Amino acid sequence: MPLGVLQHYTIEPSNLKKTVKFYCDVLGLEDGDRPPLGFPGNWLYSGGVATVHLLGPRKPREGIVVRGTKKKFKDTGRFDHIAFSGTDIDGVRKKLKAKKVKFREQTIPRTGGQQIFLYDPDGVGVEINFPPPDAK
């Protein structure tokens, strides 16, 4: 069974409002339409696709595990990061600095592509990949 393109990923943030603000204000995603699922949450859109799903408080029920927001994690276990494609690396740098978001950069050997790495409010790694400066 071949898989298609990644559809979305879901985070159960410790502070839903703060995490929505981060992904929208810092990363430029858009808070958009979400079906009435019976519990709070947000769907954040990237390029017209609801890429990031955020879970609000829920009650456990058949097949639903609720980790809750009281438990804090030192790291993300085997999960490392989520990556987005980006444009305008200079603009992204400027925005991250203005929002006082810590980040690091690297140039990909051989291809010359550029990357920015940062963390969301819950420590989920976010990578933004930019084409090489001479790419058209």
Give the pLDDT means over successive 10-residue stretches in the chain (136 positions). 78 91 96 92 94 85 66 70 91 96 94 93 90 79
In a domain, 30, yes or no: yes
Q: How many helices (H) and strands (E) does the chain have?
A: 2, 8
Within-domain flag for 65: no
- At residue 89, what are phi and psi to the nearest 5 degrees? -60, -35
Write down the pLDDT at residue 78. 67
Q: Is the pTM of this model over 0.75?
A: yes
Residue 111: domain span = 9-56+80-130
Quote the pLDDT of residue 63: 65
Is the Cβ–Cβ distance between 41 and 34 less than 8 Å? yes
Give the count of domains, the chain.
Answer: 1
104 within a domain of the structure (yes/no) = yes
User: Is 101 within a domain?
Assistant: yes
pLDDT of residue 62: 63
Residue 70 located in a structural domain: no
Phi and psi angles of residue 95, each rounded to the nearest 5 degrees, phi first: -65, -45
